[in-house]
Amino acid sequence: MSAPGDADRPALEGGLPVRDTLLPFFRVELGSEEEEAAVRALRSGWISTGPECERFEADLAGFLGLPPAQAVSVASCTAGLHLALRAAGVGPGDEVITSPMTFPASANAILHAGAVPVFADVVPAWLTLDPAAVRAAVGPRTRAILPVHFAGWPCEMDALGGIAAEHDLAIVEDAAHAIGATWRGRPAGTLGDAAAFSFYATKNLTTCEGGLVATAHPEWARRMRVERLHGIDLDASQRDGHDYRHWESVSLGWKYNLNDLQAAIGRVQLARLPEQVRLRREADSRYRAALAASELVEPISGPAGAETAAHLFPVRLRTERLRVGRDHVLRALLAENVGVGVHFRALPLHRFFRDAGHRPEAVPAAVEASHRLLSLPLHPGIKELEQQQVVEALLRILRWYAA
């Protein structure tokens, strides 16, 4: 798409855009505390995986209500998903059921483990895995379910847990959007056998790049610690110092470790997380209230029992009531200086997955949503006035194009 211009602004017919500068879709929220923590780590002498990573793991385990050994920091959520699937025993010949409404990383991790992703359709209102579709997708090769908590809303974990128990499947949560979310009062990330969080730049908690995998099984954690660092049985901090021990290569491994600068930033971010999630939820509620009366747009929400981490604010456009499609509305919003995103276009619509034989027709609810979704700017620092401008621009555009 080319840059939007006046031709994309029919809704205002020559008037001024609602804003004179672009409201970014996302803003980084790092302050002096994160800077100081990073500098302290830099000056400490430990710049790779060391004591800060260990403290970050303990802090995050505490946040989740797990023993410290069961939180394993890693280089990314994708790395965490890969290690968790391996710990679950997933390998060549296996199938893993996952959501088509996700970032490619969720399915790529399944492929990295040597297994085949099987996309089950989503619940239209929530865009998380439909338990009935998951049940129908279970076959003799199914080894695990990889549910994706969407936009901050946890999946229907009781139903998915029931299917997993019935068929002896592992559950590995993709909790990239969901740090701070709860399901029936329990934190997302503790609802299956293992869960991976993302600390990528745009996520609710960031370490610039990074991730963490939490698990209910101490033996999975032990295996993941070895595999995250070359498959050797000692990490760097244990290789240093007076009591020399030979380390040994004990399995195939990867270079998936987090470093102490990232962990130091992550500890500050974690301390700020509850307040940041509170601000996100407030912004989320303000959007919902402002859009409630419109019959042209429908915010995505989650099932009863789910409390959102308010990572994203996706809405479904009622394009059957509009004269134009989603991409037209998207460009019109950009022309009003409102940053937007699309989360997501279902994976079977992408070339790589289509070429691998995944059929969009198999996931009609995900495909329908793919052509109607738009994500509005949502971050802890967004101002009420900015949200009013977003809503004003969106509603004006939709009214203009109403059929």
Provide the binding-site residues for ligand PLP, judged by CB under 6 A: 76-78, 102-103, 105-106, 148, 174, 176-177, 198, 200, 211
In the complex, least distance from residue 132 CB atom to ligand PLP, rounded to whole angstroms: 22
Question: How buried is 315 (Cβ within 10 angstroms: 0-12 exposed, 13-18 middle, 19+ buried)?
Answer: buried
Nearer CB in complex with ligand PLP: 60/322 = 60
Q: Are strands 194-198 and 211-215 parallel, antiparallel or unpaired?
A: antiparallel
Residue pointed to by tokens 């991976």: 196
With the CA atoms of 377, 287, 372 and 199 taken in that order, what torsion angle do they form, in degrees rounded to the nearest 10?
40
Distance CA 7, CA 176 (A): 37
Minimum distance, C-beta of residue 344 to ligand PLP, in the bound complex (Å): 8
Residue 64 vs 398, nearer CB to ligand PLP? 64
Is 103 or 313 the residue whose CB approaches ligand PLP more closely? 103
Whole-number minimum distance, CB 355 to ligand PLP, in Å?
A: 21
CA distances to 71, 112, 169, 170, 235 from 139, rounded to whole Å, are 31, 21, 11, 14, 39
Catalytic annotation present for 383 = no
Q: Nearer to ligand PLP by C-beta: 100 or 211?
A: 211
Q: What's phi and psi for 144, nearest 5 deg? A: -155, 160
Measured from the CB atom, is 73 or 76 closer to ligand PLP?
Answer: 76
Compute CA 270 distance to the chain's CA centroid, rounded to the nearest angstrom.
Answer: 16
**Sign of the four-CA dihedral 132, 136, 142, 148:** negative
User: Nearest distance from residue 384's CB to ligand PLP, in Å?
Assistant: 27
**Residue 4 vs 303, nearer CB to ligand PLP:** 303
Sequential DSSP letters for 265-332: HHHHHHHHHHHHHHHHHHHHHHHHHHHTT-SSEEE----TTEE-----EEEEE-GGGBSS-HHHHHHH
**C-beta neighbour count of 138 within 10 angstroms:** 18
Least spacing, CB of residue 99 vs ligand PLP, in Å:
9
- By the 8 A CB rule, do 286 and 384 touch? yes
Name the E strands within 20-156. Answer: 71-74, 95-98, 116-119, 142-146
Q: Given the residues 82, 86, 177, 203, select the one marked as catalytic.
A: 203
For residues 110 and 117, give the distance between their C-alpha atoms in angstroms, rounded to a whole number: 6
Beta-carbon count within 10 A of 6 CB: 10
Q: How far is the CB of 178 from ligand PLP (least distance, A)?
A: 9
Look at the block and give the residue holding tokens 């989740």: 64
Q: Please report how close the Cβ of residue 258 comes to ligand PLP at its closest, in angstroms.
A: 11
In DSSP terms, which residues pair with 217 in a beta bridge? none
* Cα dist from 162 to 158, 165, 306, whole Å: 6, 5, 17
Question: What positions carry a catalytic annotation?
Answer: 203
